[in-house]
């Protein structure tokens, strides 16, 4: 049983790209998020799996129908923050205010608690562990933000698979980190975003088999724009452009293959199966 997750944001929610950095402009651009998220819900439903939709509060506030549709279809709704700002760029107080706004919007829409968080661009890095305490204070019961390999805007050395993180205040937060395969000494991400788009199928399959041999669930993470072949193109440096737009035509086929050959569940359910009871564990004032 693997974990299937989608970070629900629009095509312009990219970090550190000057042309799309100003939130005042976001409302002036055509949106893909409603149509493409509904398509994702239908696609996952076709195979009978359940997924976690980590939603941006900014998106949920404008398009309340998405969280409601995901929730009604039996999926989990988690938070991806409100403004999509990197955690390590914020103070604990700024992070708390952003997260509270997002959790309030989402829990109101689904009529129940929001349990999990995925940081924008996996931006919990060594030194920002205070974020776990803020999450526990706000009633969240697990995190799915750690990326155990070097990357442009994040990266956090940790073990693969579900584990407990001890927070600076001494509390415990269940963590479901992203999946990184080993290719000799090289760490190779394979299960989401740009990596799933541009890696050939055999490398993705190789990653899944490596995890399955060790009985560790893989975490798939994708965005609506990963499937959007006609997505508006944003001016950016060549290397970033490759990472943002390469292989979009291949995402659907690769995902369909995985959905038809394996079993997938929400992040909360995978954590529970691994012995981490996020539904029952409550930290801090939550």
From 88-96, 119-127, 134-142, 276-284, span contacting Zn ion (CB under 5 A): 119-127
Question: Any idea what DSSP says for residue 225?
Answer: G
**H or E stretch at 108:** helix 92-110
Give min distance, CB of 145 to Zn ion, in A.
Answer: 11
Helices 92-110 & 64-72 angle (0-180, nearest 10): 60
Q: Which is nearer to Zn ion, 120 or 189 (CB)?
A: 120
Minimum distance of Zn ion from residue 80's CB (angstroms): 6
Segment lying near Zn ion (by CB under 5 A), choices 2-10, 69-77, 190-198, 254-262: 2-10
**Residue written as token pair 């976690």:** 52
**Residue 121: other Cβ atoms inside 10 A:** 23
Distance of alpha carbon 229 from alpha carbon 235, whole angstroms: 16
**Which CB sits closer to Zn ion, 7 or 98?**
7
Minimum separation from the CB atom of position 209 to Zn ion (A): 28
7 binds Zn ion (CB under 5 A): yes
**Residue 171 vs 240, nearer CB to Zn ion:** 240
Q: How far is the CB of 69 from Zn ion (least distance, A)?
A: 20
User: Which part of the chain contacts Zn ion (CB under 5 A), choosing from 4-12, 70-78, 135-143, 246-254?
Assistant: 4-12
120 near Zn ion, judged by CB under 5 A: yes
Q: How far is the CB of 228 from Zn ion (least distance, A)?
A: 14
The number of beta carbons lying within 10 Å of the beta carbon of residue 104 is: 15
The residue ranges of DSSP E strands in 231-270, in sequence order, are 264-265
* DSSP conformational letter for 199: S
155 binds Zn ion, rule: CB under 5 A: no
- Our CB check for Zn ion shows the closer of 16 and 212 to be 16
The number of residues making up the chain comes to 286
Q: How far apart are CA 247 and CA 111, in angstroms?
A: 37
According to the binding rule CB under 5 A, does residue 10 interact with Zn ion? no
List the x/- string, 64-103, binding to Zn ion by CB under 5 A. ----------------------------------------
Stretch that binds Zn ion, among 114-122, 142-150, 249-257, 258-266 (CB under 5 A): 114-122
- Tokens 């939603």 belong to 55
Distance CA 151, CA 17 (A): 16
What's the closest the beta carbon of residue 120 comes to Zn ion, in angstroms? Answer: 5
Secondary structure (DSSP) of 8-50: E--TT--TT-GGG--HHHHTTSPP-HHHHHHHHHHHHHHTT--
Give the footprint of Zn ion on this chain (CB under 5 A): 7, 9, 120
């Amino acid at each position: 049983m693997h974990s299937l997750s989608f970070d629900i944001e629009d095509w312009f929610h990219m970090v550190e790209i000057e042309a799309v950095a100003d939130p005042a402009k976001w409302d002036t651009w055509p949106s893909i998020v409603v149509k493409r998220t509904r398509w994702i819900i239908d696609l996952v439903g076709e195979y009978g799996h359940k997924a976690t939709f980590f939603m941006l509060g900014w998106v949920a506030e404008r398009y309340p129908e998405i969280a409601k549709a995901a929730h009604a279809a039996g999926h989990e709704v988690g938070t991806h923050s409100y403004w999509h700002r990197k955690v390590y760029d914020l103070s604990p107080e700024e992070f708390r205010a952003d997260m509270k706004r997002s959790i309030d919007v989402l829990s109101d829409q689904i009529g129940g608690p929001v349990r999990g968080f995925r940081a924008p661009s996996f931006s919990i890095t060594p030194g920002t562990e205070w974020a776990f305490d803020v999450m526990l204070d706000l009633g969240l019961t697990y995190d799915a933000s750690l990326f155990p390999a070097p990357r442009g805007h994040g990266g956090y050395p940790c073990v693969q698979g579900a584990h407990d993180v001890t927070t600076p205040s001494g509390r415990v937060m269940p963590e479901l980190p992203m999946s990184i395969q080993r290719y000799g000494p090289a760490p190779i991400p394979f299960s989401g975003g740009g990596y799933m788009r541009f890696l050939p199928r055999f490398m993705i399959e190789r990653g899944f088999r490596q995890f399955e041999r060790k009985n560790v669930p893989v975490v798939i993470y994708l965005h609506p724009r990963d499937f959007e072949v006609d997505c508006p193109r944003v001016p950016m440096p060549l290397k970033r452009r490759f990472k943002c737009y390469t292989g979009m035509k291949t995402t659907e086929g690769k995902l369909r293959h995985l959905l038809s050959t394996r079993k997938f569940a929400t992040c909360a359910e995978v954590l529970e199966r691994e012995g981490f009871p996020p539904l029952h564990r409550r930290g801090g004032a939550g």
